[in-house]
Amino acid sequence: MALVALAGLAAASGAVVLAGDEAYVRWDGRIRKRADDSVSFDWQGTTAVFTVANSTYVIAHYDTSALAAPYGTPLVRIGIFYSASVWDADPTLASAISPTASIILHPKESSYIVASGSPLSKATGQTVRLVALDPPGDGVQAAQGVALVSLETDGTFLPVESSGQPFIEWVGDSMMGDAVRRASLSGEAKPPCIGVEDDWSSTSNAQTCAALGARCSTVAVGGHGVYHNCCTEGDKRLPDFFLQTCAADAVGDYFSTPRAAPDAVVINLGTNDYYWARHHGLVDDAAYAANFTRTLVGFMANITRYYDQADIPFLCAAGPMADGESALNATAQAVLDAMALGINAHFVDLSGATLDGCLWHPGLAGHHQMASKLIPAVRDLLPAHLRRAPLSAAAQISSGVVYVDSD
C-alpha cells in the first residue's frame, strides 16, 4: 500500500481518537504518555493496536518535530499489519515477516494514511497494528521524542480487546532488537553489508509473539551486553536500559510507578559480552565467566524485585552468535545458580541457527530456526489459561520447521 497524499480526503465527518485513549488504542511495549494524551515511543516492536468499522481509511497523526535530520532522511519505519495477531491471520507465519504496508516518518511530515480499502469496511471491525520496525537500534537518540498523536477515520473506532493474551518481555541485543540483518545485495554476510534491511517483525521474538498471540515488550540495544558491552567502554548495559521507559532516556524511571508483571521474561545476552572477552583474551577465563554468570543472576533477581513478583518465569537463551561453548556454559550456569536461589529460571540453546544475515547475524532462515525452539519453550512457561493450543500438522509451516510443541 503506497503512502497516499491527504489532499483528496474529506475527513471532516470522521471520528478521531487520541493515541493515549486506552479504550480505543492498546499499546504493547514501553511508551510514555504525554499530558496531551499523545504517546511517545522508541523501542523496536512497540505496537499500537486499534479496530475500525465501516471505514475507508485511517490517518495517523504523528509528532515528528524531534527528528533532527534533513528532510527526506528515513529515520523511523512503522509496519502496518491487519489483524490483532499475525498468527490469527496466517497460521503458517508467512505474514509474520511481511507487513501489509509500511511508512517512514520524516521530520517535516506529520500525517500518514496507515490503512485503506475494503478490509476496513466490515461492520464487525478490522483490527490494525502499527508496529515500530526499526527505530532507533544503536542510534537511540535518533528517534527520541517521536509520538503518535491521534488516529482519524471516516468510519467508527471500536473498543479494543486487551484481555486474554499473555504478556512477554524480551531483553537482548541486535538479534532481538534492530532485527534480522538480512544479507547484502551481493549475497555476502560480511561488511560492508550494502543494501541491508533490518526488520523487527522478522525476528524470532516477533515470530514467537505472533505464534503465541502474545502482547510483547522488547528492551534491546545492539552492541550491548549484561556484564560487558562489545565495543563501548563505560556505556550503559542492558540492566541499565531495562530501567528506562524509552531507549533514549537519560535516567531510568520506568519503575517509578508500579508495573504489571509479565507472564514470562526472555533474556538473550552474552554475544557482546563474549565478543569483548575474545578481544581481551578472556573468552575462556573462569573469573570472567563467573562475573558474567553472577551479573545475569543478579539481573533476574532485580527484575523480580522491580515487579514485586518472585515467581516470574525466565527463559535464558544462548546463541547463535555468542562465542561458542564459553558463553553457552556461563548462561547455563546462571540458570542453575538462579534456580538455587528460588528464581523460576529456564534455559534454551539457540546455537547452531544459520547466520545467514549481515555481520554474522542470523537472517530469515536463522530466525525461523530460533523461533522453532523459542515458541514451545516460551509457551511452556505461560499460565495454562494463556497457552495457545498446538496447531494441526496441516497448519505447520511447509518447509518442515515446526512452530508448535508436541503436547
Say if CB 146 and CB 135 are below 8 A apart: yes
What value does the mean pLDDT take over residues 12-37?
89
Task: Give the pLDDT of residue 59.
Answer: 97
- What does the mean pLDDT of the chain come to? 81
Say if CB 290 and CB 284 are below 8 A apart: no
More confident: 58 or 141: 58
What are the pLDDT digits (tens) for 319-361? 898 667 899 999 999 999 999 999 999 999 999 998 887 777 8
What value does the mean pLDDT take over residues 217-225?
92
Say if CB 326 and CB 289 are below 8 A apart: yes
> What letter would DSSP give residue 138?
T
pLDDT at 255 over 70: yes
Task: Give the pLDDT of residue 211.
Answer: 83
pLDDT at 184 over 50: no
pLDDT at 389 over 70: no
Percent of the chain with pLDDT over 90: 52
What value does the mean pLDDT take over residues 240-253?
91
pLDDT at 33 over 90: yes
Task: Give the pLDDT of residue 140.
Answer: 45
What value does the mean pLDDT take over residues 272-287?
94
More confident: 131 or 193: 131
pLDDT at 179 over 90: no
What are the pLDDT digits (tens) for 135-152? 544 444 445 568 999 999
Domains, the chain, with CATH or none: 16-158 (2.60.120.260), 167-395 (3.40.50.1110)
More confident: 105 or 336: 336
What value does the mean pLDDT take over residues 257-281?
95
Task: Give the pLDDT of residue 197.
Answer: 57
Task: Report the alpha-carbon distance of residue 152 to residue 374 in Å, rounded.
Answer: 37
Say if CB 32 and CB 39 are below 8 A apart: yes
Task: Give the pLDDT of residue 364.
Answer: 79
pLDDT at 72 over 60: no
Q: What is the CA radius of gyration of the chain?
A: 21
Say if CB 180 and CB 202 are below 8 A apart: yes
Task: Report the alpha-carbon distance of residue 264 to residue 105 in Å, rounded.
Answer: 32
**Most trustworthy range by pLDDT among 6-20, 182-196, 353-367:** 353-367
Q: Show the DSSP H helices in 64-111 as ranges.
A: 86-89
Task: Give the pLDDT of residue 4.
Answer: 40
